[in-house]
């Protein structure tokens, strides 16, 4: 298989997984204050936007269709 076809299949799989499990989030660490004597960190939770999920899935399908038709 070609690299572009593998990338397309990976995007399709990722899109399906992310759409299926809608509670997939990621966290980042945030430093709210920067004072030498005080150290404080918080975690911020980010939700993956639904449109991003659709774009990943459609992009993977589009890449797959384009690169498999070139043969």
Q: How many percent of the chain have pLDDT more than 90?
A: 0
* Consecutive H or E run containing 47: strand 42-47
Count of Cβ atoms closer than 10 Å to residue 18 Cβ: 17
**Cα(12)–Cα(62) distance, integer angstroms:** 9
Work out whether the CA dihedral 3, 9, 10, 11 comes out positive or negative.
positive
Q: Backbone phi, then psi, for 18, in 5-degree steps?
A: -70, -35
Least confident of 1-5, 29-33, 42-46, 54-58: 29-33
């Amino acid at each position: 298989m070609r690299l572009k076809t593998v990338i397309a299949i990976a995007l399709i799989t990722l899109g399906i997984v992310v759409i299926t499990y809608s509670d997939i989030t990621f966290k980042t660490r945030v430093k709210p204050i920067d004072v030498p004597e005080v150290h404080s960190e918080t975690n911020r939770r980010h939700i993956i936007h639904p449109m991003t999920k659709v774009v990943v899935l459609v992009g993977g399908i589009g890449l797959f269709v384009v690169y498999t038709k070139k043969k």
